[in-house]
């Protein structure tokens, strides 16, 4: 009798395609019952998409038949992409979607080859990625329910609409009852009117599946957790309460999961990074743990934080608040003046923070502000010593090739009603860099420790960029005046760091930094210790933020089990290795979901802010060039599109050789990094889009108008 493993190996090993008759002859099947069994096995493997059948009823691997499975990403214009890996994706036209929606796991048919621009059609929806939708009632010819997500083109029918007496502008979250066109939904929750404070942000979060409220089981478990450190918590911990430890965070931070201590030594410094011992309170498998795993991370948006853990933990007993005893896991490191970690210890501890410092306070102390120095007289010298230690660590990392993208981030200022008051660039001073240096160093030490022990753990990995993206980046930097040197197939982070440095003082730096960041692979969590390309590190993990990141909590749990308690069990280790593999995939998905929600809220709030500035002029830099126009980024990070159709002084074509739009007769160019003056003409909060037009005087074209007009008509 043929086994599944034998059949899979046969089809995988040879490019030859087999009919059922071929398989029966190959395995010398003569009995009817054996042929039926083989047929059932083949049908099952085909159903599971492990093998596929072509038009001539021959069996082969799915990819050999042009069949691919993956998650569908849909654009607002209706078309989509099936991303297979970092290098290959399949374009799905709007007419070939076959009612599939963004996030669905689908089976796609192509022409059988992954050429430069493969195109495919959705054959089957294997799993729906979306089970809820967010929408708003709009008054058209009649009151209808319109989905906020324009990527879903289906007409929507609400089953229980009459139960809520909806009015124009009322928002609701609805459960999908039946997929297709029409999409049948049932109101699950009324969010409020679209003009009510906070409803817009809540709608975006829920659209990404991010819930603010915690389940009853979690809130019930919280009642059994004390709000202070009790005597039974002290067992096996070092008492570090006499050490001068401080927290340094943003002004609006409420949860403090890392504290720093520092002493000078003959060789350099003794640096202590003390991290809240969250896993002491969040037992594996408990309701708290299950909910934290489900969320994966805290989500930070314009006017709120959706925490991974309830406030009683994140802002209470797990937060390293000033002047109170807190349980921690400490990483004490001996560092020399060259930034090298000579020795370290990792152990459970108890600390008491001396001061809750902010980045701006420490920055002013480092800048020599006398008022701030007097206010924190007993600590000011400590911060200068910390700065010296951080510089040594930074210089060592930089020499190894660590890339500092220094990308501008937006800070959105809102009032109590959630209305945007201002959009500015988030400051990143020496205090911010200093804490980052300390956290990266502790993460490296813990990763090296766990890797050396060969115990199951979660690592933060960032793989080397693929060749195609490096070639595109090299072409762009060469156009801007800096050709990337060396073998692009074996690019080293130091080469990219040197490239960034070359653009440091130029107006095009933000463009180069963004393009380089986009050319990188996405960092993710993995059970393999595969290194971090961007930081030029062979071992790296996330250990320093267990209040807001589930992988950090897992790392703490593994440290306790294998390092502090010494619980080594080969059988359990194998099980945990499989668990780490699963958690790596889960937490990476949660992280991407949170990032997408944060980005959508930011885009929405930026568009809302710009809506009040229609008609105003701005100066920005061209940050992206496409065949349909170019993007302009303003100094405060707000980005908008100048549409090709609004460049009506000439007929413009995309010149891929110089990444620019070039006028056909005038020769005028719009290229990356170029400074332009624009005027705001559209800003849609609902679509999260901003549109500009050029504000410079139009250049006169000598060619006759009718010729240009005919060409434009031909283009349309």
577-618, pLDDT tens digit by residue? 999 999 999 999 999 999 999 999 999 999 999 999 999 999
The CA distance from 254 to 195, in Å, is 28
- What would the mean pLDDT of 296-321 be, rounded to a whole number? 94
Percentage of residues in the chain with pLDDT exceeding 90? 66
Q: Which domain holds residue 240?
A: 234-461+534-602
Per-residue burial over 635-668, b = 16 or more CB atoms within 10 Å of its CB, e = otherwise: ebbbbbbbebeebebbbbebeeebbbbbbeebeb
If asked whether residues 385 and 490 sit together in one domain, one would say: no
Mean pLDDT (the chain, rounded): 90
Reported pTM: 0.88
The CA distance from 105 to 85, in Å, is 15
Pairing of the two strands 341-352 and 67-74: unpaired
Q: What is the pLDDT of residue 710?
A: 38
If asked whether residues 107 and 147 sit together in one domain, one would say: no
Identify the domain boundary among 172, 196, 220: 196
Distance in Å from the first CA to the final CA of the chain: 63
Has residue 343 been placed in a domain?
Answer: yes
If asked whether residues 366 and 448 sit together in one domain, one would say: yes
If asked whether residues 634 and 489 sit together in one domain, one would say: no
Label residue 560 by pLDDT band (50, 70, 90): very high
If asked whether residues 506 and 582 sit together in one domain, one would say: no
If asked whether residues 156 and 262 sit together in one domain, one would say: no
Is the peptide bond prior to 182 cis by the omega test (within 30 degrees of 0)? yes
Q: What is the pLDDT of residue 714?
A: 36
Label residue 440 by pLDDT band (50, 70, 90): very high
Neighbouring residues of 625: CB distance < 8 A, sequence distance ≥ 6: 631, 654, 659, 660, 661, 670, 671, 672
Answer with the residue of higher pLDDT: 208 or 22: 208
Neighbouring residues of 349: CB distance < 8 A, sequence distance ≥ 6: 237, 238, 239, 240, 274, 327, 328, 329, 330
- Strand boundaries in 644-688, DSSP class E: 652-655, 660-663, 669-671, 675-684
Label residue 112 by pLDDT band (50, 70, 90): low
Q: What is the pLDDT of residue 636?
A: 94
Has residue 501 been placed in a domain?
Answer: yes
Kindly tell me the burial class for residue 30, based on how many C-beta atoms sit within 10 Å of its own C-beta (0-12, 13-18, 19 or more): exposed
If asked whether residues 424 and 485 sit together in one domain, one would say: no
Neighbouring residues of 363: CB distance < 8 A, sequence distance ≥ 6: 429, 430, 431
Number of domains in the chain: 6
Q: What is the pLDDT of residue 698?
A: 53
- What would the mean pLDDT of 297-326 be, rounded to a whole number? 95
Beta bridge partners of 606: none
If asked whether residues 546 and 656 sit together in one domain, one would say: no
The CA distance from 43 to 59, in Å, is 10
Question: pLDDT tens digit string along 179-235?
Answer: 988 999 999 999 999 999 999 999 999 999 999 999 999 999 999 999 999 989 999
Q: Which of 279-283, 454-458, 469-473 has the lowest mean pLDDT?
A: 469-473
On the question of pLDDT at 1 being above 80, the answer is no
On the question of pLDDT at 530 being above 90, the answer is yes
Question: 173 and 208 in contact (C-beta within 8 Å)?
Answer: no
Q: What is the pLDDT of residue 14?
A: 67
**What number of other Cβ atoms are within 10 A of residue 17's Cβ?**
18
- What would the mean pLDDT of 64-79 be, rounded to a whole number? 87
Percentage of residues in the chain with pLDDT exceeding 70? 96
- What would the mean pLDDT of 666-681 be, rounded to a whole number? 92
On the question of pLDDT at 367 being above 70, the answer is yes
Beta bridge partners of 423: 412
Beta bridge partners of 460: 525
> Tokens representing 114?
């992954």
Question: 357 and 261 in contact (C-beta within 8 Å)?
Answer: no
Question: 625 and 641 in contact (C-beta within 8 Å)?
Answer: no
The CA distance from 217 to 667, in Å, is 67
Has residue 207 been placed in a domain?
Answer: no
Identify the domain boundary among 110, 127, 144: 127
Q: What is the pLDDT of residue 380?
A: 95
Averaging pLDDT over each range in 2-6, 80-84, 118-122, 544-548, which range is the top one? 544-548
Label residue 573 by pLDDT band (50, 70, 90): confident
Question: 144 and 154 in contact (C-beta within 8 Å)?
Answer: no
Has residue 201 been placed in a domain?
Answer: no
If asked whether residues 622 and 567 sit together in one domain, one would say: no
Label residue 513 by pLDDT band (50, 70, 90): confident
Question: 430 and 388 in contact (C-beta within 8 Å)?
Answer: no
Domain with 182 in it: what CATH number? 2.40.50
Continuous H helices in 355-506: 359-366, 370-375, 380-400, 430-453, 467-479, 493-502
Neighbouring residues of 92: CB distance < 8 A, sequence distance ≥ 6: 72, 79, 80, 81, 82, 100, 108, 119, 120, 121, 122
- What would the mean pLDDT of 531-560 be, rounded to a whole number? 97
If asked whether residues 296 and 406 sit together in one domain, one would say: yes
Has residue 221 been placed in a domain?
Answer: no
The CA distance from 367 to 349, in Å, is 33
On the question of pLDDT at 518 being above 90, the answer is no
Neighbouring residues of 413: CB distance < 8 A, sequence distance ≥ 6: 420, 421, 422, 423, 424
Question: 335 and 392 in contact (C-beta within 8 Å)?
Answer: yes
Identify the domain boundary among 60, 79, 98: 60
- What would the mean pLDDT of 647-661 be, rounded to a whole number? 86
Has residue 259 been placed in a domain?
Answer: yes
If asked whether residues 173 and 309 sit together in one domain, one would say: no
Q: What is the pLDDT of residue 320?
A: 97
- What would the mean pLDDT of 630-651 be, rounded to a whole number? 93
Has residue 508 been placed in a domain?
Answer: yes
Neighbouring residues of 538: CB distance < 8 A, sequence distance ≥ 6: 529, 531
Has residue 557 been placed in a domain?
Answer: yes
DSSP string of 157-178, one letter each residue = EETTGGGS---TTEEEEEEEEE
Q: What is the pLDDT of residue 704?
A: 41
Domain with 649 in it: what CATH number? 2.40.50.140
If asked whether residues 322 and 403 sit together in one domain, one would say: yes
Q: Which of 66-75, 76-85, 600-609 has the lowest mean pLDDT?
A: 76-85
What is the three-class DSSP state of 662?
Answer: strand
- Closest C-alpha to 228, from 353, 319, 310, 347: 319
Q: What is the pLDDT of residue 712?
A: 37
- What would the mean pLDDT of 699-704 be, rounded to a whole number? 46
Q: What is the pLDDT of residue 701?
A: 46
Q: What is the pLDDT of residue 706?
A: 43
């Amino acid at each position: 009798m043929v086994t599944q493993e034998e059949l899979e190996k046969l089809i995988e090993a040879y490019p030859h395609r087999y009919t059922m008759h071929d398989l029966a002859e190959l395995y010398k099947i003569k009995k009817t019952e054996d042929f039926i069994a083989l047929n059932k096995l083949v049908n099952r493997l085909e159903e599971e998409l492990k093998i596929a059948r072509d038009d001539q009823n021959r069996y082969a691997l799915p990819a050999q038949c042009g069949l691919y499975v993956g998650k569908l990403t849909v654009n607002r214009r209706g078309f989509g992409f099936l991303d297979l890996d970092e290098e290959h994706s399949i374009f799905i036209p709007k007419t070939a979607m076959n009612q599939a929606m963004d996030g669905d796991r689908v089976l796609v048919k192509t022409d059988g080859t992954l050429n430069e621009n493969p195109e495919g059609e959705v054959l089957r929806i294997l799993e729906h990625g979306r089970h809820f939708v967010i929408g708003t009632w709009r008054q058209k010819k009649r009151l209808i329910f319109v989905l906020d997500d324009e990527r879903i083109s289906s007409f929507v029918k609400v089953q229980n609409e009459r139960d809520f007496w909806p009015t124009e502008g009322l928002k609701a979250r609805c459960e999908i009852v039946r997929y297709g066109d029409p999409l049948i939904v049932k109101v699950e929750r009324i969010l409020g009117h679209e003009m009510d404070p906070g409803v817009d942000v809540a709608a975006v979060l829920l659209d990404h599946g991010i819930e603010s409220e915690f389940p009853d089981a979690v809130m019930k478990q919280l009642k059994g957790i004390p709000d202070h450190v009790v005597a039974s918590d002290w067992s096996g911990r070092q008492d570090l309460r006499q050490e001068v430890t401080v927290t340094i965070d943003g002004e609006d931070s409420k949860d403090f999961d890392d504290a720093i201590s520092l002493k000078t030594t003959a060789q350099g410094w003794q640096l202590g990074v003390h991290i809240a011992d969250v896993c002491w309170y969040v037992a594996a498998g408990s309701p708290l743990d299950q909910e934290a795993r489900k969320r994966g991370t805290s989500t930070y948006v314009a006017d709120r934080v959706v925490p991974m853990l309830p406030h009683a933990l994140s802002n209470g007993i797990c937060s390293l608040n000033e002047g109170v005893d807190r349980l921690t896991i400490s990483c004490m490191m001996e560092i020399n003046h060259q930034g090298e970690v000579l020795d370290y210890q990792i152990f459970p501890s108890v600390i008491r923070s001396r001061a809750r410092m902010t980045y701006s306070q420490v920055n002013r102390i480092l800048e020599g502000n006398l008022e701030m120095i007097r206010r924190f007289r007993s600590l000011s010298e400590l911060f200068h010593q910390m700065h010296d230690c951080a510089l040594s660590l930074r210089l060592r990392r930089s020499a190894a090739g660590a890339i500092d993208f220094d990308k501008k981030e937006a800070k959105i200022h809102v009032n109590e009603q959630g209305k945007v008051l201002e959009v500015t660039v988030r400051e990143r001073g020496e205090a911010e860099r200093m804490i980052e240096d300390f956290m990266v160093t502790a993460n490296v030490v813990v990763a090296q420790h766990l890797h050396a022990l060969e115990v199951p753990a979660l690592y933060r990995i960032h793989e080397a960029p693929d060749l195609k993206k490096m070639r595109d980046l090299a072409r762009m930097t060469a156009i801007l005046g800096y050709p990337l040197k060396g073998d692009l197939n074996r690019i080293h982070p130091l080469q990219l760091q040197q490239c960034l440095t070359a653009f440091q003082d130029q107006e095009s730096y933000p463009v180069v930094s963004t393009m380089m960041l986009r050319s990188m692979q996405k960092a993710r969590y993995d059970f393999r210790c595969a290194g971090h390309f961007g930081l030029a590190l062979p071992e790296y993990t996330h250990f320093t933020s267990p209040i807001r990141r589930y992988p950090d909590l897992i790392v703490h749990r593994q440290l306790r089990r294998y390092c502090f308690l010494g619980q080594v069990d080969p059988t359990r280790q194998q099980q945990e290795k499989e668990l780490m593999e699963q958690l790596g995939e889960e937490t990476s998905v949660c992280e991407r979901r949170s990032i997408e929600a944060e980005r959508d809220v930011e885009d929405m709030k930026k568009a809302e802010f710009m809506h009040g500035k229609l008609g105003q002029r701005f100066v920005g830099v061209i940050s992206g060039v496409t065949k349909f126009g170019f993007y302009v980024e303003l100094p405060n990070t707000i980005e908008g599109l100048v549409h090709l159709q609004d460049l009506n002084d000439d007929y413009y074509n995309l010149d891929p050789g110089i990444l620019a739009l070039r006028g056909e007769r005038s020769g005028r160019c719009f290229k990356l990094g170029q400074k332009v003056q624009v005027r705001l003409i559209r800003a849609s909060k609902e679509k999260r889009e901003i549109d500009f037009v050029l504000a410079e005087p139009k250049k006169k074209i000598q060619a006759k108008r009718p010729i240009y007009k005919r060409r434009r008509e031909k283009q349309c």
